[in-house]
Structure 1
Amino acid sequence: MARTPILAILTVLFLTLTLGPGAAITAGAAAPQGSAPAAKNGAKALPLVVVVSTGGTIAEKTDPKTGGAVPTVSGDDLIAAVPGLATLARIEVVNYSNIDSSQMTPERWAGLSRAVDAALNRPEVGGVVVTHGTDTMAEGSFFLDATLTSDKPVVFTGAMNDASSPFPDGPGNLYNAVLQVCSPNSRDWGVTVTLNGYINSARDVRKTQTTNVQTFESGEKGYLGYITSGTVSRFNDRLRRVRLPLPETLPKVAFLATYAGDDGAFVRHAVDDGAKGIVINGVGSGNVNEAVYGAVKYALSKGVVVVISTTVYYGSVEPVYGDLGGGLMLEKDGCILAGDLPGQKARLLLMLGLAGYGPDAAKLKALF
């Protein structure tokens, strides 16, 4: 046993004499303490990314009593579960909330927008990643896209499989989101939704599959880019972005979907219940039946702003049909057509528009 230290010393002397002084460090099991400052200097050169955790499946585990996924994981836990994240950026965590995104509200998104803006307004922060549930991620990302004041990158990400799954997708999505924030290829995209490697514009993204990891798509607008092998590949530029001030309070806006045989009762109820605006998900290119048309005219007569969107995934609401309830008649009577904006997002935009402009028809119409 006494021969082992002698052999080690002779090995180090041999490597030093033959290969140079650095060879002994390379061959040894650990570097001396003198190498620590270099690692710290390297870390200081990394960008600073703030991760704002709100909950969702990415922060959930299966409850052994109920068998259902429930929020249990903090933002700090999420970061700790991602190998190699420290090589991309310095990370700060803000634990904003820990709820399933089915419990999100516009008021909570308003608070989230303020929290993200506060982080982005710090000069040393390069961008923000928001971990969020996928159920309402398309809406939440759009709300922040419309209300944030900074142009620094903001990436929404999450997971379709919870943290107790044998194949969790959260860690990989979080890694890619931080990578995207740090990449020069992802500038001027506004807020994006990035999962499974695909980068979507907050305005165009939709959740299209209830359980599959490849659920977020941008339809005919196309993805903004794709992340693979540590690289952000840029496919498209951002086409359009609406920016509005974030109000202290948000007006009441109802969202209704019409259907065959609809008698318009829900529209009338929304008016009588105090809604300042109503978004109706119409059929086809933005049409309703005669009974709903009568209810819409009732809403307009009470000063309620009515926006018409469509249940159809692709295309825009257009003033094509001239019968009672057709898009052309609705527009002539004073309704605003939502264009290609999905109904849930049209509701959020109308809320922000009403808060900023009141019932100014011309200004509200310009938003859509």
Structure 2
Amino acid sequence: MLSLTSALLALQGLGLVAAAPYVHNTVPELSTRDAPRYNASLPNITIFATGGTIAGSAADITQTTGYQAGALGVDILIKAVPELWNVSNVRGVQVANLDSGMITPSILVNLSSQIQAELDSPYCQGVVVTHGTDTLEESAFFLDLTVRSDKPVVVTGAMRPATALSADGPINLLSAVTVAAAPAARGRGALVVLNDRIASAWYVTKTNANAPDTFKSYEMGYLGVLIDIKPIFYFPPAWPVGKRQFNITAATVLPQVDVLYGYQALNPGLASAAVASGAKGLVMAGMGAGGWTEAGRAVLKQLAASNGTHIVDSRRTMDGYVEPDSSNTYYYAGGFLNPQKTRILLQLGIYANYNATGFKSLFEFDS
């Protein structure tokens, strides 16, 4: 069992020096040179690090807020968890070292490209992505839509920085690598693993700003659990209904899509301002099951007609279903997807040049 104390001592012994971020543009095949403790009987797992709280550092071990996210490099994270070598041959790739709120589409495209290249190699059996939790679900959803492989893609993070007395990053990292190395994890799409829970990237969301058990999928449930760092899946591999995948190998940038929040007496002009600033699509985080004001709807209808703006209804509530409205032909219903995931799907649909029929099948599919 992983000792958090030993992890902290390892971090302190390394001086907790912030690692300089760098971009790794090529992913070489894993070899014994990459892993001094290489064991040919274990699977090869590559850890792609992007920063976040799991790589965070604070001045005091009791500090769980106000820390610096993305302060530690992936090599430090790996060295702090020597138990990783009991389950896999691990190798780290530093893609970025940022607060997850600073993740951009270009970083996601680069990350997806590197993961795809790694999984296409016969020398790699799975990958793990370390990520800040604030936007972890968005990146995991993006990878679920763009990485084409049956090999596991597991995204993990932490709610407390690496320097905290109660740091959850080390055990989450060990859990994620263990899941990525498990044959039973294959064919399930991208997974999110934190707090001993295994969830589908398609539906899971962050539900609490501070608590370690924040990632949940209330309606759809978890896919499995970890007991003594051993994954137990509840169901055989399956994909969410309506899931599509996109080829972004030629992408350099993605279309701008903005999310607008619904509230009483909302400002209809915000939609026009978003389009004027470059938005090709809008996601409406509507009231209830996608409600919007009459004045706001009039502006949206005009934007769709005059600018060709793609519009999808979602909801500001934690869960729920936004159903299609056959009387409106200028926007689509987001179904069970929350606004932030609807944004990613709409962004990829616009990039893929979907027409009206394509968007309808993308968002308003029949189960």
User: Which bracket does the TM-score occupy, shorter chain normalised?
Assistant: 0.7 to 0.9
| 1:305 counterpart (310, 313, 319) | 310
Q: Give per-residue Cα distances to partners, 1:249-287, cap 9 Å, x unaligned.
A: 311212111111113111121223332111111111222
- C-alpha spacing 1:205/1:67, structure 2 compared with 1 (3 Å): closer
| 1:351 counterpart (347, 350, 358) | 347
Q: Per-residue deviation at 1:69?
A: 2.6
Aligned to 1:213: 212
Q: Per-residue deviation at 1:92?
A: 1.1
Residue range with higher mean Cα deviation, 266-275 or 209-218: 266-275
Aligned to 2:361: 366
Aligned equivalents of 2:276 and 2:302: distance in 1?
10
Aligned equivalents of 1:313 and 1:242: distance in 2?
23
| 2:329 counterpart (329, 333, 345) | 333
Q: Per-residue deviation at 1:248?
A: 3.1
Larger Rg: 1
The aligned runs of 1:3-152 (5 Å cut-off) are: 43-63=39-59, 68-152=67-151
- CA RMSD in angstroms comes to 1.8
TM-score, normalised on structure 1?
Answer: 0.83
Q: Per-residue deviation at 1:42?
A: 8.5
SS at match of 1:44: coil
Q: Give per-residue Cα distances to partners, 1:139-187, cap 9 Å, x unaligned.
A: 0000111011222101000111101101111110011111101112222
- Give the number of the structure with larger relative contact order, counting CA–CA contacts within 8 Å between residues 6 or more apart: 2
Aligned to 1:322: none
Structure 2 unaligned runs (5+)?
1-35
Matched AA of 1:361: A
Matched AA of 2:80: A
Aligned equivalents of 1:275 and 1:100: distance in 2?
24
Aligned to 2:156: 157
Matched AA of 1:305: H
Q: Per-residue deviation at 1:189?
A: 1.2
Aligned equivalents of 1:159 and 1:144: distance in 2?
19
SS at match of 1:199: strand
Aligned equivalents of 1:97 and 1:132: distance in 2?
10
Aligned equivalents of 2:128 and 2:97: distance in 1?
15
Aligned to 1:277: 281
Q: Give per-residue Cα distances to partners, 1:226-259, cap 9 Å, x unaligned.
A: 0112321112343413211113331121211111
8 Å CA contact 1:297–1:333 kept in 2: the answer is: no
Q: Give per-residue Cα distances to partners, 1:271-321, cap 9 Å, x unaligned.
A: 2333211111111122211111111111111211111111122221014xx
- C-alpha spacing 1:318/1:43, structure 2 compared with 1 (3 Å): same
Aligned equivalents of 1:72 and 1:263: distance in 2?
39
Which has more helix, going by share of residues?
1
| 2:257 counterpart (253, 257, 274) | 253
Q: Per-residue deviation at 1:117?
A: 1.0
* Mapped pair 1:267 → 2:271: yes
TM-score, normalised on structure 2?
Answer: 0.83
8 Å CA contact 2:57–2:162 kept in 1: the answer is: yes
Q: Per-residue deviation at 1:80?
A: 0.6
Aligned to 2:29: none
8 Å CA contact 1:201–1:238 kept in 2: the answer is: no
Q: Per-residue deviation at 1:63?
A: 4.5
Aligned equivalents of 1:218 and 1:193: distance in 2?
11
Aligned residues with identical type, % of pairs: 38
